[in-house]
Amino acid sequence: LNAAPGRAPRQRVRFLPAPAPGGGGAVELVAARVPVLADHPLVRGPRFRKLKIGAGHRLDVKASGVFVLGIGRGNKLLTDLYNCHLAKVYTVGGLFGKATDDFSDTGNLVEKTTFDHITREKLERILAVIQGTNQKALLMYSNIDMKTQEAYELAVKGLIRPMGKSPPIITAVRCLQFALPEFQLEIHCLNETQQYLRKMVHEIGLELKSSAVCTQVRRIRDGVFTVDDALPRTQWNLQSIREAIQNCQLRVETELEKTLG
Amino acid sequence: VMAGVARRLLLCRGLSVTAGPPSTRQLREAEEAAPVFQYAGKAARRKDRVFVWGFSYSGALGVPSFVRPDAGWKKPRRIQPTPYRLETDEKIASAACGYGFTLLASKTRDITKVWGMGLNKDSQLGFQRTRRDQSKGYEYVLEPSPIPLPLEKPQQTRVLQVSCGRAHSLVLTDSEGVFTMGNNSYGQCGRKVVEDEIYSGSHLIHQLNEFDSRVVQVVCGQDHSLFRTKKGTVYACGWGADGQTGLGHYNITSVPTKLHGDIAGVNIIQVSSYGDCCLAVSDEGDVFGWGNSEYLQLASVTETTQVNVPRHLPFKIGKVKEAACGGTGNIVLTEEGNVFVWGYGILGKGPNLTETAVPEMIPPSLFGWSDFSPDIRVAHVRCGLSQFAALTNRGELFVWGKNLRGCLGTGRMEDQYFPWRVTVPGEVVDVACGVDHMVSMVRSFT
């Protein structure tokens, strides 16, 4: 970053002595644009000595996926994006037949159960109920007076969203794959933690009269950033980071304008 | 040799196993050796349940401990704001809510087929013999109590459907016609009006069999009764001052008489009524209405406030599948799954829409339809006196309207101006709406 061409030095008008056109020792002051000495690279030193990097929504150790970071002035955008309360999308993988103490497959075993009575239809019914109860929570925590016409208009468009503090709310769930004993869900949620999603997998197992553990939690979308924009380990270099920032800039600005005005 | 023995002794000294964190192999072996529990086998079936909510002091919810607490710490519960499970002996196939009482019916071949609870001041639940005095009957029934029907073949006949009005009830059987009980001061029970008849503690249950074909649906309005036969004809009896009997006059009718007007010759597939207005749906998707029109229910065809002959309502909303009538508002469901409301009151489109004579559609996004779940459709619509209920194909129940004494079941006491989900632990199969309480038949998830 420091090797890249920096800001051009400021120019200043100085009156410098120059030999007079008449000749013979007389000195005349001539105005000339001179670079300021204080801006000289040897005086200023390297432009970047440290970078401020801020993290977006948390992602814990056992999960993977999109992790948003802000650099320098982007940290202010991070707070604005947090206040937008946009939904995040996860793919959660689960396994029937086991129950552990920390709800993931690496924890201590608590119980083993049978699971051959579970069908895709039963799982989808449970998911529909989870979605329904969370829809209610969505409307309740959004702090809108239900008796107004405005609340009705927003509910029709589906734009009601809690814009302040709220418990984790799941806006949509759907089953992507189902092959006993494994299954995979796509979850859209707000204000959640990954451990809450693992607990949800455990509760789905209980509801189906069996038990389940979570094998994988992967965030595939965080607000406007998707997996396609995210940089894998091999691309953590300056060039890719600059391109990624430029690609996302426009989208972030439009989203902020739309939500926060 | 000595050195070898000494080495073996040294090796044997470590007989005790060193304690420490279990290795991966030990963990895996422990896991495989753990017992497997079975909570549900292959033959596990989904259970059928009944949930009730609303005003409980009339006994209509069927939970005696709400009215007369049976333990010292329990307090009387005037209103049950959220769904409460009611234990029943048999699977309930049909339920109906009247004005302060409820009827539950099962399709069993046993002798007890119908249970009733709530107000019984007009013997709308039949004669409920008191324990103390064999000749007196209970005026309030707090628990689902069997209603003895005078059947000729009690172990063969099945009860198909029940319906309740303000103070009378109708029971439809598959081979013995319709049984009516309760108040008959307007002839709504289909028998001649007896002057100064005392209805309280009455044993009289009347049987109606004289129709042109088998009766397939019975509907109770506030003080009148409607019967729909297999051939598609509609019969009515009872109070007619608002024209709700549809027989061309405003008098009382005490014998079920056939309706004509715009439905003559039309095959009617569904009839509905709860207050003083009636709606009928034909097999071609047309809607016919008659009765009270003070709240613009029939204002699309006439300016008069009472219509005593069935009139065709020329709505251009598509083919209608189901209709339901409330006290002041009406609701229909079309083949495409759209819901239309009209009339007066809280119609479900926000606080600004209080009356309309022309049906207005409720946006499907309020019932859970979205790009994420595009195949959600409304499957049934039901009406109480001032509430509406809609059931989706996913088994979710949406309610809206006036929240009289907690009858909406949302857990709040405020009125609901747009469809709101009721959290029921199961898939809702059917719901019956009354004045201040509701009953739902639910199947458990697994």
Q: Do B417 and A113 touch (CB under 8 A)?
A: no
The domain spanning residue A245 has which CATH number?
A: 3.30.2350.10
Same domain, yes or no: A125 and A210: yes
A246 and A238 Cβ atoms separated by less than 8 Å: no
Q: What is the pLDDT of residue B213?
A: 92
Predicted confidence (pLDDT) at residue B9 exceeds the cutoff of 80: no
Residues 159-198 of A with CB under 8 A from B: 172, 174, 188
Reported as a pLDDT band with limits 50, 70 and 90, residue B6 is low
Q: Across the interface, which of B36, B396, B418 has its CB nearest the CB of A112?
A: B36
Beta bridge partners of B258: B235
Alpha-carbon gap, residue B246 to B268, rounded angstroms: 15
Closest CA to B247 of B232, B263, B233, B258: B258
Reported as a pLDDT band with limits 50, 70 and 90, residue B341 is very high
Phi, psi of B114 (to 5 degrees): -130, 135
- Chain B CB contacts of A208 below 8 Å: 446
Alpha-carbon gap, residue A191 to B206, rounded angstroms: 62
Alpha-carbon gap, residue A115 to A96, rounded angstroms: 6
The amino acid at A60: D
Q: Do B420 and A172 touch (CB under 8 A)?
A: no
Closest CA to B307 of B388, B378, B241, B221: B241
Q: What is the pLDDT of residue B1?
A: 55
Of the residues A60, A80, A222, A229, only one is catalytic, namely: A60
Alpha-carbon gap: B360 to the closest alpha carbon of chain A (Å):
14
B278 and B228 Cβ atoms separated by less than 8 Å: no
Reported as a pLDDT band with limits 50, 70 and 90, residue B33 is confident
Alpha-carbon gap, residue A248 to A224, rounded angstroms: 8
Is B24 part of the contact surface with chain A (CB cutoff 8 Å)?
no
Q: Which residue of A has its CA nearest to B443?
A: A125
Mean pLDDT within B199-223: 92
For an interface test with A, the pick among B408, B417, B444 (most A C-beta atoms closer than 10 Å) comes out as: B417
For an interface test with A, the pick among B37, B46, B354 (most A C-beta atoms closer than 10 Å) comes out as: B37
Q: Across the interface, which of A113, A147, A210 has its CB nearest the CB of B351?
A: A147
Alpha-carbon gap, residue B322 to B18, rounded angstroms: 75
Q: 């002035």: which residue's tokens? A: A73
DSSP string, B146-171: E-----SSTTT--EEEEEE-SSEEEE
Q: Across the interface, which of B30, B39, B350 has its CB nearest the CB of A209?
A: B39
Residues 59-88 of B with CB under 8 A from A: none
Q: What is the pLDDT of residue B2?
A: 58
Is A47 part of the contact surface with chain B (CB cutoff 8 Å)?
no
Closest CA to A174 of B371, B323, B250: B371
Q: Do B423 and A125 touch (CB under 8 A)?
A: no
Alpha-carbon gap: B427 to the closest alpha carbon of chain A (Å):
8
Predicted confidence (pLDDT) at residue B362 exceeds the cutoff of 90: yes
Phi and psi based region of residue A42 (left: phi greater than 0; alpha: psi -120 to 50; beta: remaining): alpha
For an interface test with B, the pick among A96, A121, A156 (most B C-beta atoms closer than 10 Å) comes out as: A156
The pLDDT tens digits for A117-137 are 999 989 988 998 888 888 888
3-state secondary structure of A15: strand
Closest CA to B185 of B239, B139, B257, B138: B239
Q: Which residue of A has its CA nearest to B30?
A: A109
DSSP A38: G
Residue B372 burial by Cβ neighbours in a 10 Å radius (0-12, 13-18, 19+) = middle
Alpha-carbon gap, residue B34 to A145, rounded angstroms: 53
Residue where a domain terminates, one of A20, A35, A50: A50
Alpha-carbon gap, residue B291 to B301, rounded angstroms: 13
Same domain, yes or no: A86 and A173: yes
Beta-carbon pairs below 8 A across chains A and B = 98
Mean pLDDT within B108-134: 92
B323 and B329 Cβ atoms separated by less than 8 Å: no
Is A147 part of the contact surface with chain B (CB cutoff 8 Å)?
yes
Q: What is the pLDDT of residue B360?
A: 93
Q: 């005086």: which residue's tokens? A: A43
Alpha-carbon gap, residue B70 to B9, rounded angstroms: 76
Same domain, yes or no: A62 and A46: no
Domain, as residue range, for A35 = 1-50
Predicted confidence (pLDDT) at residue B280 exceeds the cutoff of 90: yes
Alpha-carbon gap, residue B270 to B276, rounded angstroms: 17
Sign, CA dihedral B293-B294-B295-B296, equals: positive
Q: Which residue of A has its CA nearest to B370?
A: A158
Q: What is the pLDDT of residue B134?
A: 87
Please report, in angstroms and rounded to a whole number, the separation of the first and last CA atoms in chain A. Answer: 34
What is the edge-to-edge ordering of all strands in the sheet holding B355-362? B320-325, B329-334, B339-344, B355-362
Phi and psi based region of residue A153 (left: phi greater than 0; alpha: psi -120 to 50; beta: remaining): alpha
Same domain, yes or no: A108 and A234: yes
DSSP B276: S
Same domain, yes or no: A167 and A256: yes
Same domain, yes or no: A136 and A37: no
Tokens of residue A212, six digits: 């389940």
Alpha-carbon gap: A204 to the closest alpha carbon of chain B (Å):
12
- Domain boundaries in chain B? 48-443
Is there a catalytic annotation at residue A60? yes
What is the edge-to-edge ordering of all strands in the sheet holding A98-100? A98-100, A109-113, B36-37
Q: Which residue of A has its CA nearest to B427?
A: A125
Q: To 10 degrees, what angle do helices A120-141 and A194-207 make? A: 130
Mean pLDDT within B338-353: 93
Reported as a pLDDT band with limits 50, 70 and 90, residue B372 is confident
Residue B295 burial by Cβ neighbours in a 10 Å radius (0-12, 13-18, 19+) = buried
Q: Do B352 and A117 touch (CB under 8 A)?
A: no
Alpha-carbon gap, residue B261 to B239, rounded angstroms: 18
**Chain-centre distance for alpha carbon A68:** 4
Alpha-carbon gap: B125 to the closest alpha carbon of chain A (Å):
36
- Chain A CB contacts of B365 below 8 Å: 155-158
Same domain, yes or no: A36 and A75: no
- Chain A CB contacts of B351 below 8 Å: 147-149, 152
Residue B310 burial by Cβ neighbours in a 10 Å radius (0-12, 13-18, 19+) = buried
Same domain, yes or no: A96 and A173: yes
Q: What is the pLDDT of residue A205?
A: 93
Closest CA to B79 of B399, B435, B404, B433: B404
Same domain, yes or no: A101 and A214: yes
Q: What is the pLDDT of residue B17?
A: 65
Predicted confidence (pLDDT) at residue B11 exceeds the cutoff of 70: no
What ipTM is given for this predicted complex?
0.78
What's the farthest any 2 CA atoms get from each other in chain B? 125
Of residues B17 and B378, more confidence is placed in B378
Alpha-carbon gap: B367 to the closest alpha carbon of chain A (Å):
9
Average model confidence (pLDDT) for chain B?
A: 90
Predicted confidence (pLDDT) at residue B179 exceeds the cutoff of 90: yes
> For strand B215-220 and strand B206-208, is the pairing parallel, antiparallel, or unpaired?
unpaired
The pLDDT tens digits for B231-265 are 999 999 999 999 999 999 999 999 999 999 999 99
Residues in chain A, how many? 261
Q: Do B36 and A114 touch (CB under 8 A)?
A: yes
Same domain, yes or no: A188 and A109: yes
Is B373 part of the contact surface with chain A (CB cutoff 8 Å)?
yes
A187 and A172 Cβ atoms separated by less than 8 Å: yes
**Taking the model in full, what pTM does it have?**
0.85
> Which residue stretches of chain A have pLDDT < 50?
none
Mean pLDDT within B430-445: 93
Same domain, yes or no: A46 and A59: no
Cβ count near A188 (within 10 Å)? 19
Of residues A210 and B3, more confidence is placed in A210
Q: What is the pLDDT of residue B306?
A: 92
Mean pLDDT within B166-181: 94
Q: Do A209 and B366 touch (CB under 8 A)?
A: no
Q: What is the pLDDT of residue B118?
A: 94
Give the percent of chain A with pLDDT over 90: 34
Q: Which stretches within B113-158 are classed as H helix?
A: none
A198 and A217 Cβ atoms separated by less than 8 Å: yes
Alpha-carbon gap, residue B218 to B174, rounded angstroms: 12
Same domain, yes or no: A42 and A145: no
Alpha-carbon gap: A116 to the closest alpha carbon of chain B (Å):
7
The pLDDT tens digits for A211-253 are 999 999 999 998 889 999 899 999 999 899 989 999 988 888 8
Tell me which CATH code domain B48-443 carries: 2.130.10.30
Is A113 part of the contact surface with chain B (CB cutoff 8 Å)?
yes
Q: What is the pLDDT of residue A10?
A: 87
Count how many domains chain A has.
2
